[in-house]
């Protein structure tokens, strides 16, 4: 605390101070010395933010972000390429597992939940059918 007060005084004492300025500086220094110093932040336990009904997404946009969509499509395409059964009838124009995964995502039949996190660790689990 002493270093902070000394640095604060040094900023204002670069020029000659009048009596009023000196009194004002002393007031601010006393105010600084009376402040409570917080050494550590209290521990925050991450909690789940509940969904308040259909369409009540509290964290982030109401649609899938491009990163979430890419992650879902990549993971599902990998599962399909490794032999997982598709959740839909395979369309005639589907040539790759990525095409099938995209159709499954469009039809909202993939049983997946997106976890969106806040910087403090709080999170919200959002089922895929809650997104627009």
Handedness of CA 92, 95, 97, 99 (dihedral sign): negative
83 conformational bin, left if phi > 0, alpha if psi -120 to 50, beta if neither? left
Q: What's the confidence (pLDDT) of residue 97?
A: 95
75 and 119 fall within a common domain:
yes
The domain that contains 124 carries what CATH number?
Answer: 3.90.940.10
List, for residues 20-52, the tens digit of each pLDDT value.
Answer: 888 888 888 888 888 887 777 778 888 998 887
User: Same domain, yes or no, for 74 and 124?
Assistant: yes
- Whether residue 46 is contained in a domain is answered as no
Range of the domain at 22: 2-33
Question: Considering its fold, how many domains does the chain have in total?
Answer: 2
- Parallel, antiparallel, or unpaired for β 113-117 and 123-127? antiparallel
This prediction has a pTM of 0.64
């Amino acid at each position: 605390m002493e270093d902070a007060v000394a640095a604060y005084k040094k900023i204002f004492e670069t020029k000659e101070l009048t009596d009023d300025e000196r009194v004002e500086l002393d007031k601010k220094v006393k105010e600084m010395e009376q402040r409570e110093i917080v050494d550590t932040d209290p521990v925050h336990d991450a909690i789940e933010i509940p969904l308040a009904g259909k369409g009540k997404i509290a964290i982030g946009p109401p649609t899938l972000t491009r990163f979430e969509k890419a992650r879902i499509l990549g993971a599902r395409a990998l599962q399909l390429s490794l032999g997982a059964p598709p959740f839909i009838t395979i369309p005639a124009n589907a040539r790759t597992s990525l095409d099938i995964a995209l159709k499954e995502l469009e039809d909202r039949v993939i049983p997946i939940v997106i976890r969106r996190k806040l910087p403090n660790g709080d999170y919200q689990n959002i089922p895929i059918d809650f997104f627009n």
